[in-house]
Amino acid sequence: MPSEVVDLFTELAALPSPPGEERAVADMVVRYLRDLGLTVDEDDAGSKVGSNIGNLYCRLEPTDGGSPIFLCAHLDTVPPTAAIEPVLEDGVIRNSAGTILGADNKSAVAAMLEGARRVLAENRPHGGIELLFTPKEEVGLLGAAAFDHERLHAHLGYVYDQAAPIGEVILGAPFSRAMQVRFHGRAAHSGMYPEEGRSAIAAAARAISDLRLGRVDEETTANVGIIQGGTAGNIIPEWCSLDAEARSQDEQKLEQLVQEMVDAFSFAAGLEDCEVETKISKSYKGYRFKTEDPVVRIAHAALERSGYVPTYALSGGAADANVFNERGLACLNLANGMQDIHTSDERITVEDLEGMVEVTLALVDVARDADA
């Protein structure tokens, strides 16, 4: 017989929730928590970030001493391209319909909800537990960014948003900058008056060829993800735009790489007698923990108590943890066993779903005994 967390996860996963359309999943989470006798508040973030839900916040009042903790998971997934039909075969949950499963991040939602149920059902003492479920994480951590973090009583928190074996603890995530670049040339008939034209696409292509893309070094990456330009095959393109990004664990390295990319855009535009406009924006701020930090020590002890060997790593991606760390709250990202996320082979094992419930309970227990 499937366990309660498996049933809960498959029910959540079957509800499509692309960014901005998380209502059905949010309603299920609210019903679940209210059935436990808890109060759930939904803020007004939806109207600010373009979602049909706000952030869901729920607090379990402390029954004992120790450190309160908050647990956060996001309710959106990358957009599915077909139906979501979770199936359990040989201890593994997959989607039989050929698109994402939504383990990212509904497996975390299920583990946290089941953990809360167990705390109440077993009358487990705790120092305070806060649950936060956010929209539009996949498109820029928007829900978490719109949440009033001063509502949280806890200063230590956890997300389960790393696709790796349980036990991996993410000590750091990168800083990131996004770049929107627009080259402006001059249109002309490509067969009759080509010498009068100035190709914006040629300028963009020259710039891209000069960029260091992919893995720049062990801490740093760069990418050009979108390029658009031109109006017809026989017109020298007057406009070309591209979207690029750079990330690094080292903020100084990131600033140097961004300046290098901006210089490449300007140089290429000059060679092609074009103009260029570059808009740079912060995507998110990185962070780095030490193994002796309280939020890490609690996680280490909880993982060991649950039968896992803690390991440490850095992530190349962001999570809601980036937002909370930037605001002065210590929020740690823990791997939860998700595999091949964002693909049609996305999956998670029953063992890992159940394991993260035990990790959740252990976090509560260790935090209760901690003096962080």
Active site residues: 76, 137
**Dist. CA 9–CA 16, nearest whole Å:** 13
Q: Give the separation between CA 159 and CA 271, rounded to whole angstroms.
A: 48
Q: How many CB atoms lie within 10 A of CB 209?
A: 10
- Radius of gyration of the CA atoms of the chain, in A: 23
Q: What are the phi and psi torsion angles at 286 (to 5°)?
A: -80, 180
Residues 141, 147, 148, 152: is their CA dihedral positive or negative? negative
The dihedrals phi and psi of 181, each to the nearest 5 degrees, come to -120, 135
Are the C-beta atoms of 170 and 187 separated by less than 8 Å? no
Contact residues for 50 (Cβ-Cβ < 8 A; gap 6+): 20, 136, 142
Entry field: residues in the chain: 372
60 CB-near residues (< 8 Å, 6+ apart): 38, 116, 119, 120, 126, 128, 129, 130, 131
Residue type, 258: V
The neighbour count for residue 280, using CB atoms within 10 Å, is 15
